[in-house]
Amino acid sequence: MKKEKSKKLYINEMEADVVRRIFRMYLDGSSVCFICKKFTEENVLNKRWPTTTVDKILSNKLYIGTVEYGKRGKEEIQLFENAVPAIIDKTSFDMVQKRKEKNLKNFKRKITYIFMQKILCPHCHKIMGGESSTSRNGTKHTYYKCHACNKRISEKKIEKELMKFLNDMLDFFLIIDNTFKSSLTKDTDIEIKKYEKLSEDLNRKIKKIKKAFIDEIVEAEDFSKELSSLKQELEFANNKIKELKQIKENNDFKEDAKLFFNLKEIEKLKLKGEYVKKHNVWSKLSREQKQYIINKYIDEIEMTIDKNKKVSIVNIVFNKNEIENIGYMFRNDCFDMIINVNEQDLILSNFQNEQNTKDYITNLRNFYNIKETSITGEILDISEFNTNDIVQIIPHEKSSKFDKNKFTILQIEV
């Protein structure tokens, strides 16, 4: 953020995007050191990035619109919420603070712990830290230890217990192309208009500063610095407009993306969800890749250990932001969902109009033999479609609230 001559804070969009990127990378599992190294290599904002800078950004409440008043240690700090424009939403900010607190407790580690900061102690429910040891034959063993009650669990036991869930999650992880997520969860039209307005404002400011220099109102040195800063911001805004327009163009391929997703899902259902297990994909991942996936989708894992030291999963808390993204994508017709009815996996689509449904079926017939059935009524009975075929349910959009429910049922021959 910057101050204008009126002493009011306004958002510098180029710097704001950098701040948002820092928060996003940190929540995705990147360390402060990694962010600093990457930003320095990329010469972000044409400067070096020491760890203290990124750490301060991650802790600065100004980015959620809160101003702190008062000196620390001498008087009570007063907080004024919504005092300035926010760059980061409060949920993301709070998640970062929680993660930073966990990192402080477990920062001394030389190896990657797959479930770091995710395992709750079965006895006292505190977060367990990572610990390792090496046997006489040189084999390294990894554990999660509770520093409060001195209990520990083998990482291998956790992986073994979680294996079915991890395979299912990895299936999903491989199918969903996260490059679509970032583009489909943004209102690109609003973003484009915002940066176009910013570009216009910057062009006006450039004209004003040039006129002020010609009229000898500003000194040459000040003119040069201000003009350079404005041109840099203008270049950033124009590049952002190009990027967003490309994203908007990519959104036109949403139907292709959905078809691709469903083709993958059909193949997965044909294999009864065994692709990852059969190909032993999880074990082929590096520890860093495993940690990234766990960190992305899971917040906490609650476990129990019986007298025979058998480990059992009690509860898994998922990453709220990722689940909301998935929900958003389904609601906005970005992909369909797999549901289980009467022990049969079905593909459930979002509401479609008749033309979209026809186009989708035409494209799908290029890959599979399909039996198509239309049903109208308040209740949909799935039992009559309990065959060896894969079943997809496509609800139709209603033109009025008085219309009856209408469904297209596809039986996809495998």
Q: Highest-confidence range of 28-32, 149-153, 285-289, 380-384, by mean pLDDT?
A: 149-153
Query: What's the mean per-residue pLDDT of the chain?
Result: 76
pLDDT in the model for residue 22: 93
- Rounded alpha-carbon distances, angstroms, from residue 297 to 40, 87, 153, 300, 316: 29, 24, 21, 10, 10
More confident: 33 or 281 = 33
In the predicted structure, residue 8 carries a pLDDT above the cut 60: no
Instruction: Give tens-digit pLDDT for 352-385.
Output: 888 888 888 888 888 788 889 888 876 667 667 7
Tell me the pairing of strands 129-134 and 311-318. Answer: unpaired
Task: Write a three-state SS string for 334-363.
Answer: CCCEEEEECCEEEEECCCECHHHHHHHHHH
For the whole model, what pTM was predicted?
Answer: 0.42
Average of pLDDT values for 203-210? 88
Greatest C-alpha distance within the chain: 86
Query: What pLDDT is recorded for position 186?
Result: 46
What torsion do the CA atoms of 376, 377, 379, 381 make, to the nearest 10 degrees?
A: -40
Comparing 116 with 184, the larger pLDDT belongs to 116
* Residue that has been written with the tokens 């970032």 in this structure: 182
What DSSP string runs through 253-307?
A: THHHHHHHHHHHHHHHHHTTT-HHHHTTHHHHS-HHHHHHHHHHHEEEEEEEE-T
What pLDDT, on a 0 to 100 scale, did the predictor assign at position 184?
A: 42
Q: Which domains does the chain have, with CATH numbers?
A: 1-104 (3.90.1750.20), 336-414 (no CATH)
Task: Say which DSSP state 250 is in.
Answer: H
Q: With a cut of 70, say whether residue 168 has pLDDT above it.
A: no
- Which residues does 355 contact at the CB level (< 8 Å), separation at least 6? none
Res 316: pLDDT: 84
pLDDT value of residue 155: 93
pLDDT in the model for residue 147: 84
Q: What is the pLDDT of residues 249-280, one digit of tens each?
A: 655 555 555 665 566 556 555 544 455 565 66
Percent of the chain with pLDDT over 90: 5
pLDDT at residue 179, as a whole number: 37
Q: For position 177, what pLDDT does the model report?
A: 39
